Amino acid sequence: MLTEGKKLRLPNHVAIIVDGNGRWAERHGLPRFEGHLAGLKSVRSTIRCLNQYPIKYVTLYGFSTENWNRPQDEVAGLLRLLEEAVDKEAQELHKQGVKIRHLGRLEGLPQGLEQAINRAIELTKNNTGMTLSLAINYGGRTEILDAVRSIIAECVPPQSIDEKLFNNYLYTAGLPDVDLIIRTGGELRISNFLIWQATYSEYYFTDVLWPDFDEKEIKKALLSYSQRQRRFGGV
């Protein structure tokens, strides 16, 4: 394990932008659907690996509000895969004490996927181990707009609105801010992910495509984080 031999400072909350499934498939001469299948295997191994460390919160960016713009058959196939994976993996994660949350809009998702997510949340709601948040049909700007709409709908007095109150209206209410954001696939952007919660996050970008993101790569990211000095605007 990474912490063997000496004590390293590890993040409390890791968020991952999973990217590169399609390009992985193309490089292997496979249809893009096969890339998403390979990506789900990487999700499984990554959760298992991170659960070995004292990392309390993990968030995975699985499907963004912008992903609806992809080819319809690819979107439909990916959402079916997500439905099957959530149902299948929830039982094993429950045995490991993992608590599952959803970030994003459930409305608009296929009914089967929505039901699978709700079953996983209900099954694991009392678990006290790692909290795994699945960002599916998630967008950072949409999240902020939804929070603002809820605040207006509840007629909250303007003078009562501060950061603490606003946090309570976000999808991530009750979760700590993100310490480390990892993005695979070589892109150097955050793609509308956790805009509010990542104000002082550390970023780790890697060219490794998501299906190839293994335990060795996870250790590299955690080691990089442990060597940084976080000042949060101070000196």
* pTM of the predicted protein model: 0.94
3-class SS of residue 5: coil
| Predicted pLDDT at 232 | 72
- What pLDDT band is residue 229 in, cutting at 50, 70 and 90? confident
Task: For the chain, give the percent of residues with pLDDT over 70.
Answer: 96
- What pLDDT band is residue 8 in, cutting at 50, 70 and 90? confident
Q: Which CATH number fits domain 13-226: 3.40.1180.10, 3.30.930.10, 3.50.50.60, 3.30.360.10?
A: 3.40.1180.10
Tell me the average pLDDT of the chain.
94
| Predicted pLDDT at 5 | 43
How far apart are alpha carbons 183 and 35 in whole angstroms?
A: 17
Per-residue pLDDT at 86 exceeds 90? yes
What is the mean predicted confidence (pLDDT) over 42-51? 96
| Predicted pLDDT at 44 | 94
Task: For the chain, give the percent of residues with pLDDT over 90.
Answer: 91
What is the mean predicted confidence (pLDDT) over 98-102? 98
Helix (H) or strand (E) holding 111, with range, is helix 111-124
pLDDT tens-place string over residues 167-214: 999 999 999 999 999 999 999 999 999 999 999 999 999 999 999 999
User: Is 12 a known active-site residue?
Assistant: no
Q: Which of 21, 67, 137, 179 is catalytic?
A: 67
Please name which of 100, 33, 115, 104 lies closest in space to residue 65, comparing C-alpha atoms.
104
Per-residue pLDDT at 235 exceeds 70? no
User: Is 118 a known active-site residue?
Assistant: no
What is the mean predicted confidence (pLDDT) over 21-27? 96
Residue 39 contacts residue 21 (beta carbons within 8 Å): yes
Q: Which of 19, 21, 137, 179 is catalytic?
A: 19
pLDDT tens-place string over residues 125-171: 999 999 999 999 999 999 999 999 999 999 999 999 999 999 999 99
Question: Any bridge partners for residue 173, and if so which?
Answer: none
Half-sphere exposure of 164 (CA within 13 A, CB side): 2
What is the mean predicted confidence (pLDDT) over 59-79? 93
